[in-house]
Structure 1
């Protein structure tokens, strides 16, 4: 079967109407209403606006805030069962093709354990082909400005995502002016993301394909 995500605008013909690229924002802060969540929402808006200016249109970003799911994650991972339907739907959404923005605060020089716990539920290379990921981290110290590339990028690559741009770091001192904090990064990153995502836009030839179910998965140390 031909994968619709392999079609390019040239192959579809000039008359084809393109469906918006799905977008998911995954936030790994264990605290509800965090400043990391604010950064994630701001960046999603900036990316949507910037990409639209280059004729790449994102669908309404789907926000996954792990602070809302935190109590369910350990039970799901340890039991190895798919008993929590809302969580299974979230896993299916995250692993679907499209733009995936992953945002975490910096804890002990890396991403949070909550984010790792969630992503450990996916199999190796568990993200669908056509997943374009953007690693984003917030940090309190300038020394952690490059932790998104050093820590979070390899995790997303391991899961099978394409990560075509460098990660974004937003320091606490920049929270008061997020427009300025992300402007330089988006100027460089948006054209690259547009070039990659443009080949992933699908023609409107019927309803979108349903998200795949996520197979039960446990890390090797828990098996």
Structure 2
């Protein structure tokens, strides 16, 4: 089974961001291993913290990376940025398949995963074979956007995962 590292960059543990991202992992046929970045604490403010290093290693071992954040001021959270900065080199996610995912209050920021989060993942070496997913935090469980996303992009993501395993 495909493993997904679900990186949750929401300051609130057990958030809707986490729930929605884990739903995405399941819809893509992956077993989610969730990393609540908020639980990593002050170790994110420097480099070399053992707990943070372990979380980075768990992400690097996964088949699929789902980087999930609430939308703050049209972009992803500073908490998620602190975690992504822990990947020491520009190839910290080299060849890994990643999906940028964000929840927001309204449709005005629907391009935020594409415009702000995807470039960071690509800079770290990740392969993003699909558009980022943006969902409204008030309606994501029942609005059908997840099913539409998986119908449109699931095959491309799965194909990329297959290619990644053969490297």
Aligned to 2:163: 199
Contact 1:136 1:168 (C-alpha < 8 Å) held by counterparts: yes
Rate the CA distance shift 1:175–1:194 in 2: closer, same or farther, 3 A: closer
- 1:34 deviates by 1.1
* TM-score of the pair, normalised by structure 2: 0.91
Rate the CA distance shift 1:97–1:31 in 2: closer, same or farther, 3 A: closer
* Bigger relative contact order (CA 8 A; separation at least 6): 1
- 1:21 deviates by 3.7
- Segments of structure 2 that go 5 or more residues without pairing to the other structure are none
Match of 1:184 among 134, 139, 148: 148
* TM-score of the pair, normalised by structure 1: 0.69
Q: What is the 5 A alignment of 1:108-187? A: 108-177=73-142, 180-187=144-151
Contact 1:70 1:114 (C-alpha < 8 Å) held by counterparts: no
Q: CA RMSD in A?
A: 1.9
Aligned to 1:25: 6
Could you tell me how far apart the structure 2 residues matched to 1:199 and 1:175 are?
A: 30
Q: Deviations over 1:59-108 (max 9, x none)?
A: x321111121133312xx1xx3x2x3222111112233621111100011
- Segments of structure 1 that go 5 or more residues without pairing to the other structure are 1-19, 49-57, 203-223
Q: What is the 5 A alignment of 1:76-95? A: 77=46, 80=47, 82=48, 84-95=49-60
Which one has the largest radius of gyration?
1
Q: Give the length in aligned residue pairs.
A: 167
